[in-house]
Chains A and B, each alone.
Chain A
Amino acid sequence: MEQIAATEMADVQEIAGRAVADFGDFDALVLAEQRRIYRVLLAMLRDPDAADNLTQECFLQAYEHRKRFRGECSVRTWLMRIAINLARDHVKSRRWQFWRSLFSESVGSEERVEPADPRASPEHSLLARERLAHVSAVVDSLPNQQRAVFVLRFLEEMSIEEIAQATSLRPGTVKAHLFRAVSAVKGHLKERKNQ
């Protein structure tokens, strides 16, 4: 994670650009982007196995359809678009609903590592954890498209234009989805405060 976090955006773009120009360097593209794609898919699906499988599928499709890439957006955004489409198809597939809900439970109870401030008192930490769990539940409960743009904007810090390219939505629609998502989070926090 730190290795990629330290990687400059320009370097990633260069690596990705070379990888597409000459897919002999495809391994470098996978190395540079696999963590980000997996993180987004996991945030959207809450299913570690599906996120892993679809991350692999994302790179396979990118390689197979590399000739279709016309450079209208960055390779990172193009990869993200493939990942978003895969996640959308996955959600549509009713066959996975049952398993997804099962895995969703397991992620919630076991795999989530909740950030805790070591300086905070136990009571404060507990309250913060509770609040985070509920905000996370609110994000999970957002409609798929809202959750996708929320994840891309606030977790991946992509620009509105990049999100629009990745989701094939208009920038205005992306903003509308974000406003509603933020409003949902705000409403939920207000509710929690009043309880």
Chain B
Amino acid sequence: MNAHLNEQQFGELILGTGNEEIARHIEACDLCRAEADSVRTAISACRQLANNTAARDEIFWARQRLAVRQRLARPRFVPHVRWVATAAMVLVVSAAFLLTRPQPVQRANDDAADDVLLQQVQSDIERDYPAALAPAVLIDEERNSALSAGAGQSSNH
């Protein structure tokens, strides 16, 4: 291996999962070895820092254990509050939907009006003459019946 270790190989080395090829390179390459030592030292220092930063006295841990016990003894309302909030939300959405959707009675009225209109159109289509000429047709029928009645009387004479 002529080139230096790439990111993955270097990571494997630091994780301690490197193969023989990586080990051979580290033995031969001063630069990569120095970098690996430097990273290991930094990580070790970070570990020590984390331990020191999280170090607390026994009173702190005892208080924490007591707090856990107290919180366990208390009924927890958070899940219930969430359920109640969810149920309330569903109710509000349902109410809004019911209030805003078209009323079924109105729909029925509209359907009836449509039926009436269709019946009127159908009866108009079935007529032999337009509705506006109905009086004239009526007069014509009366005149024709009168004429036929007069013709009947003259033939009797």
Count A-side interface residues using an 8 Å CB cutoff. 47
B64 / chain A contacts, CB cutoff of 8 Å? 30, 34, 38, 52, 55-56
Closest to B58 in A: A3
Known: A27-B69, A30-B68, A153-B15. A132 touches B49 (CB 8 A): yes
B16-58 near A? 1/0 per residue, CB < 8 Å: 0000000000000000000100110011011111111111100
User: Chain A residues with Cβ under 8 A from B35's Cβ?
Assistant: 186, 189-190
The DSSP consensus for interface residues of chain A is: helix
Q: Which residue of B lies closest to A64 (CB)?
A: B76
Instruction: Tell me if A60 is interfacial: C-beta within 8 Å of chain B.
Output: yes
* 0 or 1 for each of A139-169: is its CB under 8 Å from B? (1 = yes): 1000000000001011100001000000000
State whether A183 and B7 are in contact (beta carbons under 8 Å apart), knowing that A34-B65, A56-B64 are contacts in the complex. Answer: yes
Beta-carbon nearest neighbor of B11 in chain A: A179
Check if B43 sits within 8 Å of A35, measured CB to CB.
no
- A51 to B15, alpha carbons, bound, how many Å? 27
Name A182's contact: one of B10, B45, B54, B76 (CB within 8 Å): B10
How far apart are B23's CB and chain A's nearest CB, in angstroms?
17
Determine how close the nearest CB of chain B comes to the CB of A47; give it in whole angstroms: 12
Chain B interface, >50% SS class? helix
Chain B, residue nearest A31 (CB): B65
Whether, in the assembled complex, B105 has its beta carbon less than 8 Å from a beta carbon of chain A, the answer is no
Q: Please determine whether A34 and B53 come into contact, CB atoms closer than 8 angstroms.
A: no
Q: Are A114 and B65 in contact (CB under 8 A)?
A: no
How many whole Å from A104's CB to the nearest CB in chain B? 12
In the bound assembly, the distance between CA atoms of A29 and B10 in angstroms comes to 38
**1/0 contact string of B77-94 vs chain A (CB within 8 Å):** 000000000000000000
- Can you pick out 17 interface pairs between chain A and chain B where the beta carbons lie within 8 Å of each other? A1-B51, A27-B65, A27-B69, A34-B61, A35-B54, A43-B53, A56-B71, A112-B53, A132-B45, A135-B42, A135-B46, A139-B46, A160-B15, A175-B15, A179-B12, A183-B7, A189-B42
The 7 A-B residue pairs whose C-beta atoms are closest, nearest first, are A179-B11, A39-B54, A113-B52, A135-B42, A115-B48, A183-B7, A155-B50
